[in-house]
A and B are shown apart, each in its own frame.
Chain A
Amino acid sequence: MSGTPVVKAVNLVKVYQTGGLPVPAVRGVDLTVRAGEFVAITGPSGSGKSTLIHMLGGLDTRTSGEIWLDGKRADTLSESGWALLRRRKVGFVFQFFNLVANMTVADNVELPALLGGASPRQARERREYLLGELGLADRAGAAPARLSGGEQQRVALARALANQPTLLLADEPTGNLDSRNTRDVLRLLGRVHGQGQTIVLVTHDARAASMADRVVSLLDGQIVDDGAIGSARRRPGGTAGDVVELRG
Chain B
Amino acid sequence: MRQPLLALLAKEPAHGYELKQALEAIFGSAYPSPNIGQIYVTLGRLEKDGYVRSVDVEQSNRPNKKVYYITAAGREALESWVDEPTEGPRVRDEFFMKLVLAPMTGLADRMALVNRQRRHYLSLMRDLRELAERTDPGNRVALLLIEGAMLHLQADLDWLERCQEDLP
Contacts and interface: CB of A to CB of B under 8 A. Distances in A.
Given A244-B31, A244-B32, A248-B1, A210 B115 contact: no
Nearest to B162: A44
B121 A206 contact: yes
B45 interface: no
B122 A44 contact: no
Secondary structure call for the B interface: helix
Interface residues of B, number: 40
Contacts of A217: 115, 118
B71 interface: no
Contact of A231 (B29, B123, B161): B123
B4 interface: yes
A243 B30 CA distance: 8
B133 to A, nearest CB: 8
B2 A248 contact: yes
| Number of chain A interface residues as a range | 20 to 34
Contacts of A179: 147
B67 interface: no
A100 interface: no
Contact of A210 (B125, B147, B149): B125
Interface of A: 42-44, 179, 186, 205-207, 209-211, 215, 217, 219, 224-225, 227, 229-233, 235, 238-246, 248
19 contacts: A44-B161, A44-B164, A205-B154, A206-B121, A224-B164, A225-B118, A229-B119, A229-B123, A231-B127, A232-B120, A232-B127, A240-B127, A240-B128, A241-B29, A243-B30, A244-B148, A244-B149, A246-B4, A246-B31
